[in-house]
Structure 1
Amino acid sequence: MTDRFDITLLTQDDCAFCTVAREVLDRVGREFPLQVKEIPLATDEGRALATTAGVLFAPGVLIDGEAFSYGRLSERKLRRALEKRRMDA
């Protein structure tokens, strides 16, 4: 079992889906050990991560450095992915 999941959240200003993603991560973080790092897409680091991960628009979510999603974050899909990673660890 993993100690925690490192989540990178790529965001931009005035992004409604980014607000939703923060809320989803907050809820999911109550059941899974998450370490969330938020990085603005407008920064050099954000642009580089987005390019590498294939994130086309905010919010972009990476789990342990691997691309997971962009756009509206599905809480159900995130929970399934984390549970699978937990079981595989």
Structure 2
Amino acid sequence: MADIRVQVCHPLPHEARLRELVLAEGSTVRDAVTASGLLPRFNPDDCPVGIFGKKKTPDTVLRDGDRVEIYRPLVADPKDARRRRAVKKDRAG
């Protein structure tokens, strides 16, 4: 069986942690996150994951060159943030 090269990225508030891995062909997103060591207790229910910005399931089979991304919870709801900016702009204008 051939090997594939993938990256696993875990963004933190002040840095992005990146690991490059060589895995067996047929490996999944879950395999990559576990092998990266970035999340010692990986729970896909708590940490959504994706490949190149598109949400995927932990059972998604990887392809050579994929970048697995571990998403963290949002600090603020984007819709609420937009509303606050709009109100602030109206008051200033």
Q: Looking at secondary structure, tell me which structure has more helix per residue.
A: 1
* Higher RCO (CA 8 Å, separation ≥ 6 residues): 1
TM-score exceeds 0.5: no
Report the TM-score when normalising by structure 1.
0.24
TM-score by length of 2: 0.24
- Which protein has the larger Cα radius of gyration, Structure 1 or Structure 2? 2
Between Structure 1 and Structure 2, the one with more strand by share is: 2
